[in-house]
Amino acid sequence: MTIKLPAVAFRNIFRNLRRSILCAVAIAVSAMAIMALLSLLETMETDMATNLTSYYTGEVRIRHAEYEKYERYNPLHLSLDTEAVISVASDVGGVKAATARINFPANLYIDGQNNGAMGVGVDFATEQAFIDFSAIVDEGRIPKPGANELLMGKFLAHDLGLSLGDKVTMLTSTALRGSNAMTFTIVGIASFPVGGLSAKTVYIPIDRAQYLLRMEGKTQEVLLLTEDGYRERDVAQAVETALEEYLSLETETRAWKDLNMMYSFLSIAKFIYYVMGAIFFVLGSTVIINTTMMVIYERIREIGTLGALGMQGKELTRLFLLEGTFISIAGSTLGTLVGVLIVFILSKTGINFTEAMSGVDMEISSILFPRVNWFTALYVWIYAIIISSLSTLIPSRKASKIQIVEALRYV
């Protein structure tokens, strides 16, 4: 007996359209949810990487070898010679850009009260390779070298009731463990992508920071960007070796991925979500298994008739497997397309996490703009089809084992 199984399977799908739609919708919802979730997670991972390398550690960070050991005490005396370190590091192959930074806790003295903040001394000229200040400065401009001027985070300015032109006295401990204070004029207000930066950070010219902290010619750290095609860890090792060889200087020179545990956790979470996605598809596939089992019991007499006409058990298995595959393709395609559409819309409108992340110190932007990743879409589409199709094997094998005589007697 010659039977065109694909044609029969396709026809059987429309014999009970409501049941087929139920199966397809279950798969579509699973595919849509996983597509949106993975796109958001990939966006968070990319966003965190960008923020970390721009605002926190660069792609390679150089510090004094003993700095981390005493970091809780803000050991600014364990500093680096700015000019010498940047000169040697810049000559190492793979280094694209270098900048010096000094991070220090400070109090902003306003109306008789001290308000905690984090000061950052930077060279605004070399920082352009790391931070696009023109894109984040909402009001005013960036401070000029040699001037007592500062750039303040938008949320911090709002909380303190400050605006452009206001003067702020900054008090802090120096590298000599003494105290010092300077008065700065607010010349710029910036909306940093990370809420924590906007809520507590002020940027001042590095020469003013060195004067304030009694660190003339010195810096707390030097950050590097690497050329395309170079591994950050390899560049970090080469820079550390060069500094020891040419300056006899022991440093802690590390790649950014080795410095940020949260990024590592996010990478692990990404893998976990892939596993969860597989489980989600399996759960969605239970609808297909249950429905196919119901179909088998409803069509026992039909199965018996097909068997009497010469259809073998393997052909019955293939028939039900084809029906499940066709439904899986329809559901997976629909779900993936809807997921892509949702992500595309969110890429334009953004997802605002400002309220959700208030008080949470994470290097993720307050507003995320997910992007459509076609590789992820293809992965979700194929994976949904495979998992959902294979889920029909259990009931299909059961159908192939039904005895013809018993099936013909079934009412």
Tell me the DSSP string of 29-62. Answer: HHHHHHHHHHHHHHHHHHHHHHHIIIIIS-SEEE
The range of the structural domain enclosing residue 246 comes to 58-253
Quick check: 45 pLDDT over 70? Answer: yes
Count of CB atoms situated within 10 Å of the CB of 268: 10
Residues 136 and 178 reside in one and the same domain:
yes
d(CA 284, CA 281): 5
Residue 234's SS3 state is: helix
With contact defined as beta carbons under 8 Å apart, do 369 and 347 qualify? yes
Q: Are 139 and 175 in contact (CB under 8 A)?
A: no
- Statement to judge: residues 269 and 404 lie in one domain: yes
Asked whether residue 63 falls in the same domain as residue 136, the answer is yes
User: Same domain for 211 and 347?
Assistant: no
Same domain flag for 38 and 116:
no
d(CA 327, CA 23): 7
166 lies in the same domain as 228: yes
Check whether 128 has a pLDDT greater than 80. Answer: yes
Domain shared by 89 and 224, yes or no: yes
Are 79 and 39 in a shared domain? no
3-class state of residue 141 by DSSP: coil
- Residue ending a domain, among 202, 220, 253, is 253
Neighbours of 184 (CB within 10 A): 24
Do residues 174 and 79 share a domain? yes
Is 51:363 a contact under the CB 8 Å cutoff? yes
Of the residues 204, 221, 253, the one at which a domain ends = 253
Instruction: Look at 32-36, 170-174, 243-247 and tell me which has the smallest mean pLDDT.
Output: 32-36
Spatial neighbors of 52 by CB under 8 A, at least 6 apart, are 256, 260, 263, 363
By CB atoms closer than 10 A (0-12, 13-18, 19+), residue 320 is: buried
The SS3 assignment for 240 reads helix
| Backbone dihedral region for residue 304 (phi beyond 0: left; psi -120 to 50: alpha; all else: beta) | alpha
Over pLDDT 90: what percentage of the chain?
A: 43
DSSP 3: -
The domain total for the chain is: 2
Looking at the structure, tell me whether residues 276 and 372 fall in a common domain. yes
Provide the strand spans (E) within 239-289: 251-255
pLDDT-wise least confident of 68-77, 294-303, 374-383? 294-303
Domain-terminating residue out of 253, 273, 296: 253
State the DSSP string of 357-389: TTT---SS-SEE-----HHHHHHHHHHHHHHHH
Grouping H, G, I as helix, E, B as strand and the rest as coil, residue 189 is: strand
User: From the CA atom positions of the chain, what is the Rg in Å?
Assistant: 31
CB 340 within 8 A of CB 377: yes
Task: Assess whether 185 and 123 both reside in one domain.
Answer: yes
Which residue has tokens 């799908």?
Answer: 13
HSE-CB for 122 with a 13 A CA cutoff: 25
**Percentage of the chain exceeding pLDDT 70:** 81
Q: Report the distance separating Cα 271 and Cα 276, nearest Å.
A: 9
Query: 221 — phi, psi (to 5°)?
Result: -155, 155
Task: Judge whether 368 and 44 are in contact, CB under 8 Å.
Answer: yes
pLDDT confidence tier of residue 201, bands split at 50, 70 and 90: very high
- Span 200-207, mean pLDDT? 95
Residues 267 and 219 in one domain: no
Q: How confident is the model at residue 1 (pLDDT cuts 50, 70, 90)?
A: very low
Looking up tokens 């007697």 gives: 409
Residue 164 phi/psi, 5° resolution?
Answer: -55, 140
pLDDT at residue 278 greater than cutoff 70: no
- Averaged pLDDT, 79-102: 95
Cα dihedral 15, 17, 18, 24 sign: positive
